[in-house]
Structure 1
């Protein structure tokens, strides 16, 4: 294994994966995972509620453990790996960002809907002021034309982002669409471009490779696919593929395989696979973290969860509108009766 890196991998299982286990991580689990990831040479490890700092709520899902305790545990054992947090303006506040920085977090990842970069200005500025590496996210990137994506990315760059990611939050994009978007971002930004995929259409790996081919230098992965929906680009598989391509990540392939098999697998409540509901997330272009909310609402009203997801896609419901899921299910049940 070489410690030289041609691109930077962020492991998101301790944040995005929180959705898959209903935000029930314990301090012991997070510490064990973060320590093992650090020993494998993963440069960045994201730790937060699935919806970012401050996400623990009735609307987004209550955490088993205060996320600051999880962050503190991860920082204490992660070695040379840097702990990152997600902040979604409107959910997470500057106060929580400051608290995380005091605990030793080194990177702030500030996310907005793809057309709403302007709401990130305060958070990006504060993260820079706190001395954090600062990354901007444009979520649900499939919902905006390329020129709008570029416009919003340039705003995030102007607010101080050290890198800007396009998020395929629904796992709805096809490889040629990823290439077109990443190419446009690379042509118009001075900072690094990143990509975050979801595997709802079984395209996370293909889309990630498409992004890398167009010059993306920051890539998210979730070990054992532990992420919302069908998960993200599977980290241990990605490392193997990149080694085949001669692309250096600085991550030990055998060690990251062992983390997946011995540490992550026992945490999974069910195997991460492309179920019919996960597939519909990508097909309908629905935010991957809506999955459990839609399934619960469908069960409550005795309707098909796929119908709920399809309707959410038709209405272009986005992150932050989780309260609408129950309303949609109730309307569908009423129409059926």
Structure 2
């Protein structure tokens, strides 16, 4: 089974109070994500809300700029989000852009039937459609199965469950997706929020139950307590031998850029602590090794994270070689 990651940093920014991601910052995000081999990059909502930030309306000029930011030879594709009730025929030009690989419909359970004509309309124009059931923690399995059957019949290519409230627990995630897999003929996706600190655990359980698409964001940036941290989850996928295609160092460096550009935090050291933990957890490094590496980094005028990234890029062939190299360094340190 091939796991695919979708980054939702730019689209989620719409829900973060005070977040202002200008065009240059958006270019950096898309460029870095494409270099890191992230499969899908969601850049915002398609709407007529002109005058708001770019991510709230996604005018064609913005989409073209984001398309140009994808590196040559990259397989990354852009994604747009749409509220079905806001659909207008004039949006088709944007949604049919060759760099847009998917349009996701944001669907409350009570609005399922109203969304079906929009799914059919988009499919008639050759657009790949994902039906995203929001606030899935409020729905029971039978409601979700009925939702699934209806949107598949309308032509949906993907079905997503969104834990919009960050309230799902791993057993519930496993149960939902196990049963949903039995009734679904399309790829399944999961959009976790991290309100209870369970985004990673829920995403792992979702994958084990057959989910192929997982959403995350840089540094977990997003509504409320945030989303699944995409750089952390890329490392988890690597460690579980589920996927090694994602450039974790590129994601960490991009997260650092995003942190300085538009992610606010009360502790200036929190970024480094979190990102150091990703690499030390990935390679199972103990505190003695990390202390030695930290002293080496300080003697060279670097932060520990900088040295870990250097080691990752220069000596990493696999975890065994990295651990061996780290042990050698600790012995001479």
Q: Does structure 2 conserve the Cα–Cα contact (< 8 Å) formed by 1:72 and 1:103?
A: no
SS in 2 for 1:194: strand
Secondary structure (helix, strand or coil) at the match of 2:160 reads: strand
Alpha-carbon separation, structure 1, partners of 2:48 and 2:86: 6
The alpha carbon displacement at 1:56 in A equals 3.4
| Aligned residue number for residue 151 of structure 2 | 156
Q: How many residues align?
A: 262
Matching residue within 253, 257, 267 for 2:261: 267
Aligned match of 2:28: 32
Listed as ranges, the gaps of 5+ residues in structure 1 are 274-337
TM-score (norm 2): 0.73
For the aligned residues, what is the CA RMSD? Answer: 2.2
Alpha-carbon distance in 1 for matches of 2:92, 2:133:
19
Tell me how far apart the structure 2 counterparts of residues 175 and 156 of structure 1 sit (CA, whole Å).
25
Q: How does 1:49-88 map to 2 (within 5 A)?
A: 52-54=45-47, 56=49, 62-63=52-53, 67-68=58-59, 69-79=61-71, 80=74, 81-88=76-83
Once the two structures are TM-superposed, the CA of residue 258 in structure 1 deviates from its matched residue by 1.4
User: Alpha-carbon deviations, 1:254-293, whole Å to 9, x = none?
Assistant: 11111112x21112342399xxxxxxxxxxxxxxxxxxxx
Deviation at 1:203, TM superposition (A): 1.2
User: More helix by proportion, 1 or 2?
Assistant: 2
Please give the alpha-carbon distance, in whole angstroms, between the structure 2 residues aligned to 1:12 and 1:185.
24
8 Å Cα contact 2:13/2:21 also seen in 1: no
After superposition, the Cα gap between the structure-2 partners of 1:167 and 1:141, relative to the gap in structure 1 and judged at 3 Å, is same
Q: For residues 73 and 272 of structure 1, do their structure 2 counterparts lie closer, same or farther at Cα, with a shift above 3 Å needed?
A: farther
Compare CA radii of gyration and give the structure with the larger one.
2
Instruction: Tell me by how many angstroms 1:55 deviates.
Output: 6.8
Residue number in structure 2 paired with 1:133: 128
Using the alignment, how far apart are the partners of 1:42 and 1:140 within structure 2? 25
Work out the CA distance in 2 between the residues paired with 1:55 and 1:228. 22
Partner of 2:88: 93
Report which structure shows greater RCO (CA 8 Å, sep ≥6).
1
Structure 2 regions of 5+ residues with no counterpart?
268-333
Is the partner of 1:30 in helix, strand or coil? helix
**Rounded Cα–Cα distance in structure 2 between residues aligned with 1:101 and 1:23:** 28
Q: Distance in 1 between matches of 2:217 and 2:181?
A: 24
How far, CA to CA, are the matches of 1:23 and 1:101 in structure 2?
28
Q: Distance in 2 between matches of 1:64 and 1:102?
A: 17
